[in-house]
């Protein structure tokens, strides 16, 4: 079944037209754009979502619960302009405004998570069982968060205890492929002391999408998440927050090579420890002092169970320590109604970060250190105009210093319409792999070297008579590898219309110094030696529209759409200059590509859309919801060898629709039974390992 784009546009248009005839009202809180909600990620201070000059998506707890999702990748994939993409290892990362997962910073309660596979952070590691809300800031955010926030930030906010009574919930969910999810969440507060404890167990027997290939597409796995949080108020000015988190997963592994079935497992383990002291020095000045440590360990072992020959034995052990002090000063008292530079909030911070990685294919443990300073001023220079100006300076041990400015403005034209725009600089530091990797494929014979070790390793290979010729100069491998960078632009408006809201945002992101592999030498065995170099320049541009409407007190609908263009600037120019060719299948002759044949970057869909319906039946204590998601065609890799994605490639996945639905019924006040199914149209593709067809589930939750 195909979902036509015009159909969705008609739905959005109908929603908008009907909305114009209604009287003003507040937007329903279950929709993704909850205009009365407070967020902290975009400015590091509490701000109303509706007042921000930045493009932000907020996913609240009610929406998570009613959707029936259990992992972070599932709920994010239902948001406009946020696409989950599976890499070659089967891990699901996130794409925002066409910007890949490598450039999206993942936070939990404001501190970063580590453990990326080739740059991609696997979102399925994170359960949503104790999440209060998810905040997504789109576009460059390095002015506050530094490296890896080049394309945006996703911050997971956990729940705080609110009452002295013991409260929480226990739930059990079972679904297709024996997928089981169990949660226990406890919260309690006293006069000065509060605590929260959360435990989750998630498992599946896996599934197989291609019976012609030995082994399962996704192997059986079991993982556990434990999280404890403690809060202590010394007095009304001084409070302490501490948190500890533990994640552990074991997954069966199997691989068939030359008629030999290798077996083994992969193991992941993660620890997080977080402490923050909040001090309100005066009514206008607050400070926070923070310490954070995290350790992510992964190991894989694959061997022939008969001969015990080892196919793969790899380890990954990353540690990160961060200390930070930050403060916010409000220049005007709460009762001061003055407009101007004296009525605003200055936020500033300084920190130290130490990053350490020991992994297979590294000669030794590698350490990065960095120090940073940032400042931001949030003020209203004139009535109805809000301005946020900020910048950050990063000093890093392995690449040139970075200065990251950002400016955002929002103007309230009237009670129903506001305009907002922002421009910001983002950067991403070269990662450990790009600097220190040392890998030779024993079966094929090619070699991949990190930039910082490439020169020495080449000399070693030459001494072993493995190098035929070197095609780069020594000078090209001696200069420091530059950080990848981008400048992002966003311009849009928010419109309240009757019982609905519409938000439109146009975006453009220009990247330079992107790091990619490049041939640096040829080996005597006919294979190549690759290293990492700065040379790519790309851009992503398009627009997003979100519209929500409250038809009745019980019925809410919303729709969203993203148009995206993502191209390599150099390759686009080469196509324009008739410098890129493809072999015609009928004539066998090489022909130059036309500009219309160049499709763009891999894994980017031109169109993405969603349509959601939430219906409450108070008399029956029941909620029904349905979410329709559309993704247009995209290509996974270049198949004809001309170095780009064009209409002649054969790795395209056609556009498809998924429909997710759930029904919840409350019994005896405290029990909720939920029945649902994802991918109701039973869409599958061997090249999309995360979509195994219809996934039905049933869940029982006890709230106390």
What whole-number distance in Å separates Cα of residue 291 and Cα of residue 570?
Answer: 44
Contacting residues for 194 by C-beta, under 8 A, at least 6 apart:
160, 161, 187, 188, 230, 231, 232
**CA 617 – CA 178 distance, rounded (Å):** 31
pLDDT at 133: 95
Contact 147, 429 (CB under 8 A): yes
Backbone angles phi, psi at 7, to 5 degrees: -60, -45
Mean pLDDT value across residues 238-248: 98
Among residues 365, 364, 370, 281, which one has the least CA distance to residue 330? Answer: 281
The pLDDT score that the predictor gives to residue 438 is 93
Model pLDDT for residues 478-515, shown as the tens digit of each residue? 888 889 999 999 999 999 998 999 999 999 999 999 99
pLDDT of residue 32: 40
Q: What is the pLDDT of residues 347-396, one digit of tens each?
A: 999 999 999 999 998 988 999 999 999 999 999 999 999 999 999 999 98
- The answer to whether the CB of 403 falls within 8 A of the CB of 427 is no
Q: Of the candidates 605, 666, 601, 690, which has an alpha carbon nearest to the alpha carbon of residue 637?
A: 601
* CA–CA gap between residue 490 and residue 478 (Å, rounded): 37
Predicted pLDDT of residue 8: 37
- For residues 672-682, average pLDDT: 97
Q: What is the mean pLDDT of residues 511-524?
A: 92
25/29 Cα distance (integer angstroms):
12
Residues 6+ apart with CB under 8 A from 357: 316, 317, 318, 319, 365, 366, 432
pLDDT at res. 342: 59
pLDDT digits (tens, 9 = 90+) for 66-122: 999 999 999 999 999 999 887 666 677 899 999 999 899 999 999 999 998 777 899
Q: Which of 197, 182, 80 lies closest to 127 in space, CA to CA?
A: 182
In this prediction, residue 417 carries a pLDDT of 97
pLDDT for 637 equals 87
62-71, 118-127, 304-313: segment of lowest average pLDDT: 304-313
Query: Please, are residues 702 and 678 in contact by the beta-carbon 8 Å criterion?
Result: no
What is the DSSP secondary structure assignment for residue 50, as one 8-state letter? G
- Provide the pLDDT for residue 339: 54
Rounded average pLDDT over 144-156: 94
- DSSP-based helix, strand, coil % in the chain, nearest 5: 10, 55, 35
How far, CA to CA in Å, does 445 sit from each of 214, 360, 526, 528?
Answer: 25, 18, 8, 8
The answer on pLDDT for 9 being more than 50 is no
How far is it, in rounded angstroms, from Cα 206 to Cα 200?
Answer: 19
C-beta separation of 355 from 367 below 8 A:
yes
Say what the pLDDT of residue 338 is.
Answer: 52
CB contact at 8 A, 67 and 78: yes
Read off the pLDDT band of 12 (50, 70, 90): very low
Instruction: For residues 682-693, give the mean pLDDT.
Output: 88
**pLDDT score of 11:** 39
**pLDDT tier for residue 29 given thresholds of 50, 70 and 90:** very low
Tell me the CA distances in angstroms from 661 to 66, 396, 530, 692, 696, one per residue in order: 9, 47, 47, 16, 10
How confident is the model over 577-604, as a mean pLDDT?
89
Q: What is the pLDDT of residue 587?
A: 76
- Is pLDDT at 599 greater than 50 in this prediction? yes
Nearest to 486 by CA among 533, 428, 431, 429: 428
**How far is Cα 202 from Cα 628, in angstroms, rounded to an integer?**
25
Residue 15's H or E segment, with its range, is: helix 5-20
In the numeric block, which tokens belong to residue 108?
């939990």
List Cβ neighbours of 583 (8 Å cut-off, separation of 6 or more): 589, 590, 591, 640
Percent of the chain whose predicted confidence (pLDDT) is above 70: 92
What residue has token string 């089967």?
Answer: 90
- Give pLDDT, residue 604: 95
- Rounded distance between C-alpha atoms, residue 570 and residue 567, angstroms: 9
**pTM recorded for the entire structure:** 0.90
Question: At which residue do the structure tokens 């020169």 appear?
Answer: 455
Say yes or no to pLDDT of 4 above 90: no
Look at residue 30 in the predicted model and tell me its pLDDT.
39
For the chain, give me the number of helices (H) and strands (E)?
Answer: 7, 42
Take residue 654 and report the two structure tokens written for it: 């056609």
Average pLDDT, the chain: 89
CA 138 to CA 132: how far, in whole Å? 20
What pLDDT is attached to residue 91? 73
Residue 26 sits at the vertex; the CA angle it makes with 21 and 32, to the nearest 5 degrees, is 105
Are 143 and 376 spatial neighbours (Cβ–Cβ below 8 Å)? yes
At residue 85, what are phi and psi to the nearest 5 degrees? -125, 135
Q: What is the pLDDT of residue 340?
A: 53
Report residue 516's pLDDT band, with 50, 70 and 90 as the boundaries.
Answer: confident
Concatenate the DSSP letters of all residues of 445-467 into one string. --EEE-HHHHHHHHHHHHHTT-E
Per the structure block, which two tokens stand in for 437? 């990797």
Which pLDDT tens digit goes with each residue over 620-643? 999 999 999 999 999 988 998 888
Parallel, antiparallel, or unpaired: how do β-strands 590-592 and 634-635 relate?
unpaired
Structure token pair of residue 18: 């009907």
Highest mean pLDDT among 76-90, 244-258, 310-324: 310-324
Residues facing residue 484 across a β-bridge:
428
The more confident residue out of 15 and 339 is 339
Query: Which two tokens mark 455?
Result: 């020169």
Average pLDDT over residues 466-475: 90
In the sheet with 438-440, reading across from the earlier edge strand, the strands are 438-440, 447-449, 528-536, 514-523, 467-470
Residue 557 CB neighbour total at 10 angstroms = 22
How much is the pLDDT for 35? 42
Confidence grade of residue 463 (pLDDT, cut at 50, 70, 90): very high
* pLDDT tens per residue, range 643-664: 899 999 999 999 999 999 999 9
Q: Which of 187, 151, 152, 124 is nearest to 42 (CA)?
A: 152
Distance in angstroms (rounded) separating the CA atoms of residues 122 and 492: 31
Instruction: State how far Cα 44 lies from the chain centre.
Output: 19
Confidence at 305, pLDDT banded by 50, 70, 90: confident
The reported pLDDT for the residue numbered 2 is 39
Q: How confident is the model at residue 18 (pLDDT cuts 50, 70, 90)?
A: very low
**pLDDT-based confidence at residue 27 (cuts at 50, 70, 90):** very low
């Amino acid at each position: 079944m195909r979902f036509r784009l015009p159909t969705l546009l008609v739905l959005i248009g109908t929603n908008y037209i009907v909305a114009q005839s209604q009287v003003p009202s507040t937007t329903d809180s279950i929709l993704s754009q909850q205009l009365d909600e407070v967020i902290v990620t975009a400015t590091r201070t509490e701000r109303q979502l509706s007042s921000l000059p930045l493009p932000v998506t907020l996913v609240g707890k009610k929406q998570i619960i009613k959707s029936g999702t259990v992992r972070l990748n599932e709920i994010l994939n239902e948001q406009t302009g946020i696409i989950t993409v599976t890499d070659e290892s089967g891990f699901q990362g996130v794409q925002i405004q066409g910007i890949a997962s490598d450039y999206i910073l993942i936070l939990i309660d404001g501190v970063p998570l580590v453990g990326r596979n080739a740059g991609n952070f696997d979102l399925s590691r994170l359960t949503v069982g104790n999440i209060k809300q998810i905040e997504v800031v789109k576009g460059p955010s390095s002015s506050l968060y530094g490296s890896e926030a080049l394309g945006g930030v996703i911050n997971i906010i956990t729940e705080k205890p609110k009452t002295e009574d013991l409260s929480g919930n226990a739930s059990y969910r079972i679904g297709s492929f024996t997928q089981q999810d169990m949660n226990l969440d406890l919260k309690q507060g006293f006069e000065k002391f509060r605590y929260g404890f959360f435990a989750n167990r998630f498992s599946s027997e896996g599934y197989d999408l291609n019976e012609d290939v030995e082994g399962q597409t996704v192997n059986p796995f079991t993982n556990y998440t434990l999280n404890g949080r403690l809060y202590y108020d010394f007095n009304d000015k001084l409070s302490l927050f501490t948190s500890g988190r533990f994640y552990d997963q074991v997954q069966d592994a199997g691989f068939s090579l030359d008629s030999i079935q290798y077996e083994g497992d992969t193991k992941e383990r993660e620890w997080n420890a977080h402490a923050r002291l909040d001090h309100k020095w005066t009514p206008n000045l607050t400070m926070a002092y923070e310490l954070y440590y995290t350790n992510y360990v992964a190991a894989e072992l694959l061997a022939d169970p008969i001969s015990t020959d080892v196919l793969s034995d790899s380890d990954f052990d990353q540690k990160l320590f961060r200390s930070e002090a930050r403060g916010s000063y409000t220049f005007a008292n709460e009762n001061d109604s003055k407009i101007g530079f004296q009525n605003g909030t200055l936020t500033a911070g300084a920190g130290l970060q130490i990053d350490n990685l020991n992994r297979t294919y590294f000669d030794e443990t590698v350490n990065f250190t960095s120090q940073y300073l940032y400042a931001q001023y949030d003020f209203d220079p004139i009535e109805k105009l809000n301005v946020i100006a900020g910048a950050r300076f990063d000093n890093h041990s392995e690449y040139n210093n970075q200065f990251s400015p950002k400016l955002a403005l929002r103007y309230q034209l009237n009670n129903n319409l506001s305009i907002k725009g922002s421009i910001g600089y983002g950067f991403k530091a070269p990662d450990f792999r790009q600097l220190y990797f040392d890998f030779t494929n024993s079966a094929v014979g090619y070699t991949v070297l990190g930039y910082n070790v490439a020169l020495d390793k080449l000399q070693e290979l030459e001494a072993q008579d493995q190098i035929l010729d070197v095609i780069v100069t020594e000078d090209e491998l001696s200069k420091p590898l530059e950080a990848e960078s981008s400048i992002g632009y966003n311009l849009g408006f928010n419109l309240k219309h009757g019982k609905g809201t519409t938000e439109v945002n146009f975006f453009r992101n220009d990247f330079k110094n992107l790091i990619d592999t490049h041939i640096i030498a040829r080996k005597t065995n006919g294979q190549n030696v690759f290293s990492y170099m700065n040379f790519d320049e790309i851009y992503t541009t398009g627009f997003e529209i979100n519209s929500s409407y409250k038809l009745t007190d019980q019925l809410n609908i919303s729709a969203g759409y993203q148009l995206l263009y993502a191209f390599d600037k150099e390759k686009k120019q080469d196509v324009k200059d008739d410098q890129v060719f493809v072999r015609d299948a009928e004539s066998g002759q090489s022909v130059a590509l036309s500009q219309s044949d160049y499709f763009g970057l891999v894994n980017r869909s031109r169109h993405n859309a969603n349509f959601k319906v939430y219906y409450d039946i108070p008399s029956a204590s029941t909620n029904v919801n349905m979410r329709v998601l559309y993704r247009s065609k995209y290509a996974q890799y270049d198949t004809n060898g001309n170095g780009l994605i064009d209409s002649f490639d054969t790795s395209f996945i056609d556009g498809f629709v998924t429909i997710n639905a759930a029904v919840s019924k409350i019994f005896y006040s405290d029990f909720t039974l939920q029945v649902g199914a994802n991918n109701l149209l039973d869409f599958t593709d061997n090249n999309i390992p995360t979509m195994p067809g219809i996934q039905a589930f049933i869940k029982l939750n006890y709230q106390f």
